[in-house]
């Protein structure tokens, strides 16, 4: 089902045909939030509490799922010329005829870092993140990969690793030139790589969270996540 069909069938706002078309155009515009809920909220001038009303929530969920599927399929289809290993379930049914792709299905999160160390570039398709990188991106940087991902306003927060990340439009993915550049780039310098691994290593980040969870104020008790020294709670992935 397309975004236009979702809007036509589930529209909770009573929009006329013209406004429905305008809403779809807004959601798919490169200058709009890639997060569908944020885009719709801006277009309709919704207050936060209105999002939780059942018809609106159901509509946003359906539109978000439809747009993410469209964007992901566009992104992966656009890179058929590259030899790629694809992680995640369901892709083979869409692109089983592409001889350049190898499919590995789902992978345990704590195996990601070890897997990423075998590659030079991570092609990440996170089609509705506007600010803040998902863990795949940060883990890949910690493993020494260059990353091609969707536009993100948090790029400046990556520190020295920002130079290893290039961005493409989530709405209309065209990442091939960025992937070619990343593949042709020289190896990351030892000093930069050391700094990046210190900042973005999965074990360091996870243990940081575990440590601070264990230091929660006594008036807000939390269930212990792991016993013993936080540095020993997570194995090096």
Q: Give the C-alpha separation, 153 to 156, whole Å.
A: 8
pLDDT confidence of residue 178 = 95
Q: Give the C-alpha separation, 42 to 128, whole Å.
A: 15
Bridge partners for 103 per DSSP: 86
pLDDT confidence of residue 78 = 93
pLDDT confidence of residue 219 = 54
Q: What is the pLDDT along the chain (237 residues), one digit of tens a residue?
A: 899 999 999 999 999 999 999 999 999 999 898 999 999 999 999 999 999 999 999 999 999 999 999 999 899 999 999 999 998 888 888 888 899 999 988 888 778 878 888 999 999 987 677 888 888 888 888 888 899 999 888 888 888 888 899 999 999 999 999 999 999 998 888 887 787 777 776 677 778 778 878 776 655 544 433 333 333 233 222
Q: Give the C-alpha separation, 227 to 233, whole Å.
A: 7
Q: What is the pTM of this model?
A: 0.79
Q: Give the C-alpha separation, 158 to 161, whole Å.
A: 5
pLDDT confidence of residue 49 = 93
pLDDT confidence of residue 218 = 55
For the chain, what are the domain ranges? 3-77, 108-200, 202-232
Buried b (16+ CB within 10 A) or exposed e, 24-60: bebbbeeebbbbbbebbbebbebeeeeeeeeebeebb
Place of tokens 């969270």: 209
pLDDT confidence of residue 225 = 36
């Amino acid at each position: 089902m397309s975004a236009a069909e979702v809007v036509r069938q589930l529209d909770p706002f009573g929009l006329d045909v013209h406004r429905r078309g305008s809403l779809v155009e807004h959601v798919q515009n490169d200058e709009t939030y890639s997060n569908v809920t944020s885009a719709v909220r801006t277009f309709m001038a919704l207050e936060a509490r209105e999002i939780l009303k059942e018809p609106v929530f159901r509509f946003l969920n359906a539109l978000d799922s439809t747009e993410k599927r469209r964007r992901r399929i566009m992104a992966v289809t656009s890179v058929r010329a590259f030899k790629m290993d694809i992680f995640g379930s369901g892709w083979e049914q869409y692109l089983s005829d592409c001889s350049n792709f190898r499919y590995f299905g789902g992978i345990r999160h704590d195996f990601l870092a070890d897997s990423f160390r075998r590659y030079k570039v991570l092609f990440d398709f996170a089609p509705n993140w506007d600010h803040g990188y998902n863990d795949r991106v940060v883990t890949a940087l910690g493993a020494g990969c260059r990353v091609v991902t969707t536009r993100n306003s948090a790029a400046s927060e990556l520190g020295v690793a920002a130079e290893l990340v290039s961005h493409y439009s989530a709405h209309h993915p065209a990442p091939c030139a960025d992937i070619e550049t990343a593949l042709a780039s020289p190896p990351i310098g030892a000093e930069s790589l050391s700094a990046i691994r210190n900042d973005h290593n999965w074990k360091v980040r996870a243990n940081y969270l575990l440590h601070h969870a264990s230091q929660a104020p006594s008036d807000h008790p939390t269930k212990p996540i792991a016993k013993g020294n936080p540095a020993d709670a997570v194995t090096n992935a």
